[in-house]
């Protein structure tokens, strides 16, 4: 089996003093690993991972050496919440809020985000504020039970779901929830987007649907949390989408862009009157190897090739081909038929 090399592997090689150009020929490089090597060849220096650079920012905002928790003193928590590190996280959340709003993934005061900043504490968005117009000082600090620890504005009413994801999935650093129309359309219809059609979607998203419960209730959070072991994007029936990332809030937001673009694309494909093409199980297997090397979960990891893409999912184009029923509508009985005939006769006689 061919080995998949990611940026992380290359960085580790450099860290251990190995030459990254000495890779064997038969390895599969992830797209960012290929960029890394290209940068290395041209500049003789390593390519900086954009997402990581964004999370760590400018050096003065690195995470504290000793992470705080909900039991830390009020003064410690306040100082931490007002530190350059937390400020840079608050700015990132505001930036993602602007992107969510500009792309119409949120409506009214809808949508919310959270970033884990300690053992059992997280910074989250406030309630009753449009996500497109938030300021760093609007953010809140909460413990993992949803109690507010710092911040002037009240925390989002949907925080429990974010915290339940973080509690259940230790890798979840950041969570993003919004209502993008195409993806939410699938959630309303109760249809999981079909797979094996677009590489980006296969590599970065693992989607499942959680049943409907009132937003903000512990029951809703529980149903979502039950799925985050193997999935990083959850469609919430009749509501919206929530995604988690093991990197940072921008990466959680990227899952939304990828899902929404995918749902739009397959909806367009379904209108073109032809069954869509799909990738082969072997092609999908290659993508899943990349996915696994990036540390992204997927229930299909470890499946045999023959088990991939071999499922009874809804396929775009298929719904257009259902033949129209020939028989009259069910329940159309002779009595109703007689009544219609009588009315028709009356109208016709008036017209004469
Ligand atoms: Zn919502």
**How many A from CA of 178 to the centre of ligand 1?**
6
Which of 185, 165, 172, 161 lies closest to 105, judged by CA? 185
What pLDDT sits at residue 19?
81
Q: What mean pLDDT do residues 34-63 have? A: 56
Confidence of residue 319 (pLDDT cuts 50, 70, 90): very low
**How many A from CA of 49 to the centre of ligand 1?**
31
Enumerate residues 6+ apart whose C-beta is below 8 A from 120: 69, 70, 143, 144
Which has more confidence, 97 or 52?
A: 97
Question: Measured between alpha carbons, how far is residue 198 from residues 119, 195, 258 in Å?
Answer: 37, 8, 10
What pLDDT sits at residue 334?
61
Q: What mean pLDDT do residues 136-162 have? A: 97
Please tell me the least confidently modeled range out of 57-66, 89-98, 122-131, 196-205: 57-66
How many Å apart are CA 166 and CA 150, to the nearest integer? 19
What pLDDT sits at residue 130?
97
**How many A from CA of 160 to the centre of ligand 1?**
12
Confidence of residue 337 (pLDDT cuts 50, 70, 90): low
Please state the pTM of the whole predicted model: 0.75
243-291 tens-digit pLDDT = 999 999 999 999 999 999 999 999 999 899 888 888 888 899 999 999 9
Q: Which residues are designated catalytic?
A: 158
What pLDDT sits at residue 331?
45
What pLDDT sits at residue 43?
65
What pLDDT sits at residue 61?
67
**How many A from CA of 131 to the centre of ligand 1?**
12
Looking at the chain, the whole-number percentage of residues with pLDDT higher than 70 is 83
How many Å apart are CA 43 and CA 204, to the nearest integer? 29
Strand 233-236 with 148-150, pairing: unpaired
Which of 169, 194, 163, 208 lies closest to 298, judged by CA? 208
What pLDDT sits at residue 230?
95
171-222 tens-digit pLDDT = 999 999 999 999 999 999 999 999 999 999 999 999 999 999 999 999 999 9
**How many A from CA of 110 to the centre of ligand 1?**
6
Question: What values do phi and psi take at 236, rounded to 5?
Answer: -100, 115
Q: Which residues pair with 174 in a beta bridge?
A: 115, 245
How many Å apart are CA 123 and CA 140, to the nearest integer? 6
Q: Are 166 and 245 in contact (CB under 8 A)?
A: no
CB atoms within 10 A of CB 296: 20
What pLDDT sits at residue 63?
77
Confidence of residue 103 (pLDDT cuts 50, 70, 90): very high
What pLDDT sits at residue 231?
97
Q: What mean pLDDT do residues 316-330 have? A: 45
At residue 123, does pLDDT exceed 50?
yes
Largest separation between any pair of C-alpha atoms in the chain: 99
**How many A from CA of 236 to the centre of ligand 1?**
9
């Amino acid at each position: 089996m061919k080995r998949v090399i990611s940026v992380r592997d290359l960085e580790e090689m450099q860290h251990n003093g190995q030459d990254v150009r000495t890779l064997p020929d038969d390895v599969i490089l992830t797209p960012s690993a290929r960029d890394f090597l290209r940068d290395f060849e041209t500049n003789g220096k390593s390519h900086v991972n954009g997402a990581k650079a964004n999370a760590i920012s400018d050096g003065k905002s690195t995470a504290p050496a000793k992470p705080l928790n909900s039991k830390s003193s009020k003064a410690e928590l306040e100082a931490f919440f007002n530190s350059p590190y937390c400020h840079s996280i608050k700015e990132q959340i505001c930036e993602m809020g602007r992107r969510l709003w500009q792309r119409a993934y949120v409506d009214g005061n809808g949508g919310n985000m959270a970033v884990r900043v300690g053992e059992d504490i997280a910074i989250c968005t406030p309630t009753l504020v449009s996500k497109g117009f938030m300021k760093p000082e609007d953010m809140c600090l909460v413990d993992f039970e949803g109690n507010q620890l710092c911040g002037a504005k009240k925390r989002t009413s949907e925080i429990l779901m974010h915290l339940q994801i973080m509690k259940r999935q230790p890798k979840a650093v950041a969570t993003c929830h919004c209502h993008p129309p195409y993806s939410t359309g699938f959630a309303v219809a109760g249809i999981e987007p079909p797979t094996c059609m677009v590489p980006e979607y296969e590599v970065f998203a693992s989607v499942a649907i959680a049943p409907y419960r009132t937003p903000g209730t512990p029951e809703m959070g529980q149903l979502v949390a039950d799925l985050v072991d193997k999935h990083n994007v959850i469609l919430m029936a009749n509501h919206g989408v929530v995604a988690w990332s093991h990197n940072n809030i921008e990466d959680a937001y990227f899952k939304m862009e990828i899902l929404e673009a995918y749902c739009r694309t397959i909806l367009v494909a379904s209108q073109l009157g032809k069954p869509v093409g799909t990738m082969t199980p072997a092609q999908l297997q290659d993508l899943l190897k990349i996915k696994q090397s990036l540390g992204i979960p997927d229930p299909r990891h470890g499946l045999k090739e023959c088990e991939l893409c071999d499922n009874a999912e809804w396929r775009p184009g298929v719904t257009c081909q259902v033949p129209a029923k020939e028989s009259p509508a069910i329940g159309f009985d002779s009595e109703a038929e007689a009544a219609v005939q009588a009315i028709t006769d009356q109208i016709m006689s008036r017209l004469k």
